[in-house]
Amino acid sequence: MNTEERVLLALRRGEPDRVPVFIYLNPYTDNEFTGDSSYAGVLEACRQYADVIYDWGFPTGFFCSAAELPSESRDIGSGVTEHAIHTPEGPVTHLTAPNWQGGGEKKRWICSEEDARRVLSVPFVGPRPDLAPFFETKSRLRSHSVAQASFPDPICAFAGMIAEETLALWTIEKRGLIRELLDAALERLLNILRFCLDRDVGPIYYFNGPEYALPPLMSPADFEEFVVEYDTRIVKLIHSYPGKYVIIHSHGRVNEFLGQFAAIGMDGLNVLEPPPMGDTILSDAKRRVGDKFCLIGNIQYDDIARGSKEKVACLVKEAIRQGAPGGGFILSPCASPYEHPLPQKAGENLIHYLAKGREYGKYPLQTGV
């Protein structure tokens, strides 16, 4: 099997020739890692062992999908930059300042209902990017990777524009306003998805966002109203086109929400974080929802980067033992590498993770795995 065949069979809850092994690196395209020599060994191991994802991020969001609006940025002192966009109802602003990662937020776009109204006044113009680079890259990498297009789901489309504490308060004080923002985001997203689906983008559609609606920020009832209700419509549209699949991404403590995720109808859920950062035990998730969607996870990146090689091998074996029987499982870390340069130990352990994933994941599974 090639990577696409293997991954898509796993998303159908089938048992491929071996467990697909994910890592959030693509050695075949130019990106921030290919120019960093500390990643050279890991990228070569990806070519040898990984089921590589060609991930294409569609340019979307309230401003990316808007009519061209006047905007400017200016230095307001103390290293802070003010970014302003002039909407039909007035300006909204965003403050940033450098931090250890290269940039950080000091103030988000939406801090008040007035800001939200101004953002909602932005006229929608469906973005129509040139799809040729996507299809050219997909064709070039056909024997090496599976292609996915990434989007924010409705809550992700605007939640990142609002401070977390403000959004949490609005679930009590301004629920109607949240619904207005969600409705606008959904309308825009469905327009964009139809554009992509009609042109055969895919086969995988990948969505970020549900983690915004998990405790402690929101309640299970909020998750049902703000995620399940909206994401179900997205998945229904995508599944109305043959050969298209949906993966939903969510960090956080998702264990008590697995049934609600299953109700959305997507094909795969990652990252299924284990304790103590998360609360998902793969064997339990497999028992409860393993026939509903593909389990994707669930090894914490820091455990790979900082553990011993023996520990990494044990984590890989245990994840496969719990998640892989009967198929419907993809081995994956819970986050992507992020260090520049990559520490030597982390690089060696990532290579070990990939090699052991390939070794232990062959179907039929070996006794003891």
Strand order in the sheet with 52-57: 52-57, 145-152, 204-208, 245-250, 268-271, 294-299, 329-333
pLDDT in tens, 254-301: 999 999 999 999 999 999 999 999 999 999 999 999 999 999 999 999
Q: Cα separation of 144 and 44, whole Å?
A: 13
> What pLDDT score does 235 carry?
98
Q: What is the pLDDT of residues 186-245, one digit of tens each?
A: 999 999 999 999 999 999 999 999 999 999 999 999 999 999 999 999 999 999 999 999
Q: What is the pLDDT of residues 312-357, one digit of tens each?
A: 999 999 999 999 999 999 999 999 998 999 999 999 999 999 999 9
Whether the pLDDT of residue 116 is over 90: the answer is yes
CA contacts within 13 A on the Cβ side of 37: 0
| Cβ–Cβ under 8 Å, residues 159 and 185 | no
**Rounded to the nearest 10 degrees, what angle do helices 344-360 and 309-323 cross at?**
40
Q: pLDDT-based confidence at 104, cuts 50/70/90?
A: confident
How close are the terminal C-alpha atoms of the chain, in Å?
Answer: 22
Is the pLDDT at 65 greater than 70? The verdict is no
Mean pLDDT of 121-130: 89
Question: Hey, what domains does the chain have and what are their CATH numbers?
Answer: 3-56+130-360 (3.20.20.210), 67-123 (no CATH)
Q: Which of 95-104, 127-136, 148-157 shows the lowest per-residue confidence on average (mean pLDDT)?
A: 95-104
Mean pLDDT of 23-30: 94
Q: What is the mean pLDDT of the chain?
A: 94
Q: How far apart are CA 256 and CA 279, in angstroms?
A: 9
> In whole angstroms, what is the distance from residue 103 CA to residue 271 CA?
26
**Residue 151 DSSP SS3:** strand
Which is higher by pLDDT, 367 or 238?
Answer: 238
The tally of CA atoms less than 13 A away on the side-chain side of residue 21 is: 24
